[in-house]
Chains A and B, each alone.
Chain A
Amino acid sequence: MTSPVSTDTVPPQLSSAQRPAQGPAADEGLARRLRALACTAPLHDLDVRKANLAGEYSVYGMAEVALAAIDLITLNMDFDTGADHDQIVARLIPRIAAQAPRRPVAEHERVARWVLENLINVGSVDRGFRAVYGTFAPDGSYVRRDYDFKLIEEVPGHGGSVYLRTTDEAVNVLVGALDTDVTSAQIAAEVKLEVLISRGRLADAQLAAEQARYRTVQYSETLRRALDATRRNVRAVDWLQAVPDMIAEALDHVADRYRHENAILTNIRKARDESEDPEQKRRAAELVEIVKDCIRRHTQLQSRLLEAGPLFRAEQDRQAFATPMTTSGIDLYGHLVAPVLPLPLEQSLRVTDAFFARGTGFRTPASVRVGDLVDLLLTPPMEREHLGAEMPEPDLIATPDDSRFSEEQLAVAMDLLDLPADAPRRLSGLLADARRQDPELPYLVALLAVHAASPPVGTAYRQGEERLLFAVDDGVELDDPEFGGADLIVGMALLDVAGMAAGRTEAA
């Protein structure tokens, strides 16, 4: 994989003297960080793009809603499936409502759905995100690479429903660097929790409990995948030692955690009941819920572990003790699937195409008989009943023209105000002129003059107009039978059309 920018475009002495990077090893760390950075981009993007939504949504903190959503989904991910879409929306709404309490609930729901859909990235085929970053290949050439990732993925559930799960990337974005052993991290979190509770620092304890719960969810997720994998493939697994060891280890772990969490639960309950401070009481009650949830998850995990043994034995019976057959020579996974997956797309396509062409069977081509065709074409179309009642002809009422001034009046007024650039006039004089032509006209002239006091310079600049009417107040009072205020100086300014045009193209 070399980039099109090969080294021969650079003078040779430069490429050797000024190596752009210290080498692929240093570059790898950079690539890792670039990818981590890319995972946060969709969240920032939400706050940038909220301006494009129809309506006023700047009051909502979209990144906050997004993080809360990832949080909720992570905590609601069940052993088998994931979090329910509607449930997540429902739980997000209180937080969104707190951000803009006066807005309607429908709008809050719309925000929740918008954030969720954008985290899934519904618009794309992959339903994921892609970031492009550059690295240096071992030969020193610069290669742009695509990094594909997802934050929330949709997984099939029972009965064709779709559930949400947070991906590894999302969990990393949410909880930070998690490059640690899950087991030890969980023990650490729980020790911390116990210490905090024994010292009565419940605020910190709550944080620690929530962290412990993340660890618990991660642990079940890991084991779920491991069990799925071992269950699918009995024979490549060391059933004699490794699997029973693993299950025993996991059961020990569950028992250990169960004991710990029950101890914690007793402690917090005591703290809850003994505490006088209502805030402390509330905190402790929340903690009880969190730890209960941890225990529930561990119980679930344990029942899974207990089921695994009989399942292995049944599969073992089915697969290993059948009478040996003569083999046909083709092992579809080992000979085809496994070797194809690591190939580049161009090559693997040839194999899958060959399999598709011969593995799908045949289709009998449809042919039409003229007799049928004639019948088909002459059959009158079915009467459709579901179109509903006929629309009544709308009864339109002509609205009377209630404009204050007529078109002619406007034309006369504009004519009056079409002053030579070097001869501005007082408003009083203009009003007197107008009054001579039409008693209504002074009102229109006064209105236009007042508007000209704040001339639309920006619009004129953009549209490249040559002249612009303006009005200035120099402190002289207006002496008029109908109007009061300042006797404005009304004039016509000439604009530098060529200069403006040049300025516009520069700006563009």
Chain B
Amino acid sequence: MSDHVEWSEPEAVASPVSAAVTPADTADAARLVAFGLQPKLQPARDQEYAELLRRYREDPPFARLADAVATGLGLVVLEVSPRAGMAVTAAEDSVFAVRMGDYARRASADSGDRFLHGLAHLAVAALAFPRPEDLADDGYIGRVSVNGVDAFVRQACRRLEERAEEQGENTDPATDAPGLETAWRIWARRSSAGATKDARRLAGSTTGIVGKAAAFLTDSGFLQRTGDDAGGTYRTTARYQLQVRDMAGSAALAELLELGVVPVTDGTASLLPADGTDDLELAADAGLPFHS
């Protein structure tokens, strides 16, 4: 994070040098941003990329220039480092931004599908970085599998279902108000897999939706596919950690706070709910399949 260039800080140092900026420098700065726009390209594999990164870190006026080029293009610089490269992401309303309607056609028409796709991305991140420490630790590499993410969300949904049942709530939504259906039910009632004629994954199933998310994140340079087990296994890249930590996580949290929901945790991992016996009760009342 020390590589993060603050706009205000180098102001005084930079002003005398700014006169020295040449078109060649600008071309180099733009070239660095162009490298950053190829998210799967690894700095260690390309000498010119590595050289430009070194220059960015050692030459503050050049760094400012590169940042300015990125900002002008509608990009946000997350980090510039040998491990992540020139990690940039799309600013809101930028031409580079990904829109849900382009991502999944059904999602623009059906709010349930839109939610499922969004939740799939959230769940991939949550399972890739299960503890707050994992998200903070620059050296951490998360591992996820498509079936694992689906099972993880399903388990969370089941726990909510059981809790609602214990409290005697009727969670079946009113027929004329689908928008009031609780979110977990939408995932729970979608089937997790489905046989198709051509033996491909059923796109509308939850594993299909998670698989799409994982494939998309791979194209974004956020995940690397490591195997075909459990519906496809992936490991995270430094860029993904930055993206989730500095962009997505805080944005979603801000939205949640705006809704008036204030999640309270004590700073330790809560991948499991606070009362630790919850899972054991799952086994003890044996009831999973046969509750009343």
Query: Which residues in A have some Cβ–Cβ distance to B below 8 Å?
Result: 1, 3-4, 28, 31-32, 85, 120, 122, 125-128, 132-133, 135, 143-148, 150, 153-156, 158-160, 162, 167-168, 171-172, 178-183, 218-219, 221-223, 225-226, 228-230, 232-233, 235-238, 242-243, 246, 319, 322, 324-365
Contacts and interface: CB of A to CB of B under 8 A. Distances in A.
A298 to B, nearest CB: 16
A347 B290 contact: no
Most A Cβ at <10 Å: residue of B174, B180, B254? B174
Contacts of A128: 189, 191
B257 to A, nearest CB: 10
A50 B140 CA distance: 57
A145 B280 contact: no
A156 B147 contact: yes
Given A358-B247, A364-B37, A352 B122 contact: yes
Interface string B136-179: 11000000001110111101110010000000101011111111
Interface string B85-101: 00011101011111010
11 contacts: A85-B195, A179-B290, A225-B282, A229-B155, A331-B265, A336-B126, A336-B253, A351-B256, A356-B122, A359-B244, A360-B220
A471 B132 CA distance: 94
A358 B240 CA distance: 11
A350 to B, nearest CB: 5
A388 B274 CA distance: 66
Contacts, number: 366
Contacts of A120: 191, 194
A457 B28 CA distance: 92
B181 A355 contact: no
B47 interface: no
Nearest to B124: A359
A178 B286 CA distance: 12
Contacts of A246: 280, 283-284
Contacts of B30: none
Interface stretch (B2-10, B18-26, B59-67, B112-120): B112-120
A237 B37 CA distance: 43
Nearest to B220: A361
Contact of A325 (B133, B254, B277): B133
B75 interface: yes
Nearest to A242: B280
B290 A330 contact: no
Given A135-B170, A228-B155, A347-B259, A153 B191 contact: yes
B16 interface: no
A261 to B, nearest CB: 19
Nearest to A36: B292
Closest 4 CB pairs of A and B: A352-B118, A236-B272, A334-B270, A359-B248
Interface of B: 37, 39, 75, 88-90, 92, 94-98, 100, 103, 111-112, 114-115, 117-119, 121-123, 125-126, 129-133, 135-137, 146-148, 150-153, 155-157, 160, 168, 170, 172-187, 189-195, 199, 201, 204-205, 207, 216-217, 220-222, 228-231, 239, 243-245, 247-256, 258-259, 261, 263, 265, 267-274, 276-280, 282-284, 286-292
B192 A232 contact: no
Given A236-B272, A343-B182, A361 B283 contact: no
Contact of A172 (B88, B126, B222, B290): B290
Contact of B175 (A146, A183, A223, A319): A146
Contact of A222 (B205, B265, B288): B288
Contacts of B272: 233, 235-237
Given A221-B289, A358-B251, A360-B217, A127 B118 contact: no
Most B Cβ at <10 Å: residue of A126, A221, A336? A336
Contact of A219 (B221, B252, B286): B286
Contact of A332 (B135, B157, B205, B278): B135
Given A127-B191, A363-B98, A335 B263 contact: yes
B54 to A, nearest CB: 24
Contacts of A365: 95-96
A343 B125 contact: no
Contact of B245 (A162, A229, A330): A330
A357 B191 CA distance: 26
A134 B230 CA distance: 41
B132 A225 contact: no
Given A153-B192, A337-B126, A127 B112 contact: no
A336 B271 contact: no
Given A340-B256, A345-B180, A362-B94, A329 B132 contact: yes
A218 B290 contact: yes
A181 B286 CA distance: 7
B118 A364 contact: no
Contacts of A345: 111-112, 115, 178-183, 186
Contact of A126 (B103, B111, B190, B284): B190
A295 B52 CA distance: 66
A134 B135 CA distance: 46
A225 B151 CA distance: 10
Nearest to B250: A330
Nearest to B133: A325
B127 to A, nearest CB: 8
Given A233-B272, A331-B270, A337-B126, 5 more contacts: A230-B279, A327-B267, A337-B119, A348-B119, A361-B98
A343 B115 CA distance: 12
Contacts of A325: 133, 136-137
Nearest to B274: A236
B253 A341 contact: no
Contact of B131 (A1, A154, A331): A331
B122 A359 contact: yes
A330 B135 contact: yes
A100 B270 CA distance: 58
Most A Cβ at <10 Å: residue of B75, B97, B201, B248? B248
Contact of A182 (B231, B274, B286): B286
Given A343-B261, A350-B255, A222 B123 contact: no
Contacts of B194: 120, 122, 127, 154, 162
Contacts of B289: 167-168, 171, 218, 221-222
Contacts of A28: 168, 170
Contacts of A155: 192-193
Nearest to B241: A328
A7 to B, nearest CB: 16
Nearest to A363: B98
B248 A233 contact: no
Contacts of B288: 168, 221-222, 225-226
A3 B183 CA distance: 20
A123 B267 CA distance: 45
A182 B290 contact: yes
A334 B271 contact: yes
Nearest to B95: A365
